[in-house]
Amino acid sequence: MENLNEKKGMPLLGDSFPAMTVQTTRGVLDLPSHFKGKWFVLFSHPADFTPVCTTEFIAFQQRYDKFKALNCELIGLSVDQVFAHIKWEEWIKDNMEIDIEFPIIADTGKVAEILGIIHPGKGTNTVRAVFIVDADAKFRIILYYPQELGRNMDEILRVVKAMQISDKNKVAMPANWPNNEILKDRVIIPPATDVKTAKERLKKAEEGEFKCYDWWFCHKELK
């Protein structure tokens, strides 16, 4: 492994993904350049041949086509040798009839250190981290789960889609989008930051361009 960014500590939202060369089950890959022009989800798991992790990998694989439809790739990681990853993939195929098609990083511990995914208070294995990286190789969402809790892959899929829509339309997404209790699948227009814009908002609402509860809370249908 080489070219790892020397920055220590957990990455922050908006940071660039550090350049690194990693050994994976699909060969040696250069990140993030291997996914140039694409979003990707890098997710760590505590260890191969463990039950919760096995259910997670199956769940990710079953949604892999949906991620790819969003121009988003998947890549796993744990501090295990590549041989263990390969044998675990074989076990999943033989016993669960699922082919794992995305790469898994065989980490020596260096990537885990750079990404801050070994939390001493939760043991010596990598926690269940999720790094959602956009097409410009920027960290957009970071999630951490303890070893004992499996992730919700539909939620990860939802937030990738939501962030892409937010970027494209310059809007914000309400809670539980697209099933918000108040707005349903409508999206939020960012609040006005000056008096002129606030007045224009209410005028546009009167004209039916969008709806407002008040000048600071306006929403519209996504077209």
**Cα three-residue angle 189-195-200, rounded to 5 degrees:** 55
For residue 193, give every residue at least 6 positions away whose Cβ sits within 8 Å of its Cβ, in sequence order, or none: none
Using the CB atoms, write b or e for 175-186: b if 16+ within 10 Å.
eebbebeebeeb
**Cα three-residue angle 1-127-141, rounded to 5 degrees:** 85
What three-state secondary structure class fits 33?
A: helix
Residue 185 identity (one-letter amino acid): D
Q: Are 212 and 201 in contact (CB under 8 A)?
A: yes
Per the residue annotation, which of 53, 72, 212, 218 is the catalytic one? Answer: 53
What three-state secondary structure class fits 26?
A: coil
Tokens for 204, please give them: 């546009």
Q: Are 89 and 80 in contact (CB under 8 A)?
A: no
53 as an active site residue: the answer is yes
By annotation, the residues acting in catalysis are 53
